[in-house]
Structure 1
């Protein structure tokens, strides 16, 4: 919206200068004021983005041509400045292809304005002035195209860099989560292995000792020898039971060690 007010003020100043410059009569002044008023209003109609009704700049070209047509001079150089303003708007606010089309139409308007001047006669001064003006307009247009293209490419590169930074941050976050998940998997794997070891230890040694106890019990029952033999067998039974209790106690007591330390290191300490 701020740009619209700047545009309106600039067009108003240029129009006033054009009217004062040629000291137009009242009817011609009213026509020029009406044409310049339409140019001012069109900027607000297009909206703050200047992308809505973008090709309405063709209407601007038509009204600028009309202002030059109603001028009493061969060429009103102040009115030509409005052509330049239209090209600036086309290049800045419109896509590349659209701006090319609008700039071409604007140059057609300039050409028609110059063609109208031929009715007053053609001389070296007018030819030189027109050649210089056209050359300056072309040079300015090319430079403006290059500058706007550079700005747009720079903005695109910045957007791409920002997107890459965001993707990189997302990858770093995902990688950290993956590493953490891998650590948890390793912990769970070791926990499973050590738990399996504890179960295997209990099942293997426990079963063997239980079988030993049962065998000794049967031997004791079937023994018909001396009392000493029975006592010795009882001692063996008691010792086997003690081994079983010690094994169970060892597994239960050192459960945390088995879970948190390397299995083979834990066994070597025992």
Structure 2
């Protein structure tokens, strides 16, 4: 198992004294789909910003690809190139006049030639299904389109790791499902995807591995089928079980012989189990 990012005893405090991260240790496996869940104020966004080089931790260690980070200017540039972050509110991230200009900003700052920049932007727009909107003003885009542009921003930099902070917030259910499928596609192309979310029904069938964060600390971790049946951790984090887990637990009470069956990850798998 190869870890692409590791932290040990990471600590970060804001200027007002609020301690957002408290001796946080986490290891993110390369090439996996990882979810970090927890209540508002748990420190998820702060963690992402520390691992992207936007914030510099007060204490603790961060390793990327096995190399310890000292947060020098050179290392921070490399972190931002290799570890992309998509913010919860796309309006915070987008600032250019139109889609093409927006997505070209990152590659241009990497010092690439005009031809290389254009190639990376075209590829990012094609992957996010935005080529037809390349000249459209940002302020005329829908919420879902803005979210895709913010993702294209990051893809144009070709990072190894993509952090997505509440990626399905502020968008409709259909667009949300399309985005989750798109994150699957990016993962299949070799990207390590790490997202935070409050949507347990979305994350349960999607994630390979889940961390639970509360009050700046990791309080639990595991594969979805096991983690979401841990009553103590869920109660401590104030989280609800995905409906599939609740339905499965109700089903095996009525049909105890199914308790040995594999816990379903999708609604199709659950309906199939009901027929046994």
TM-score range, shorter chain: under 0.3
Q: TM-score scaled by structure 2?
A: 0.25
Which structure's CA Rg is the greater one? 1
More strand by share: 2
The structure whose RCO (Cα within 8 Å, separation 6+) is larger is 2
Q: TM-score scaled by structure 1?
A: 0.26
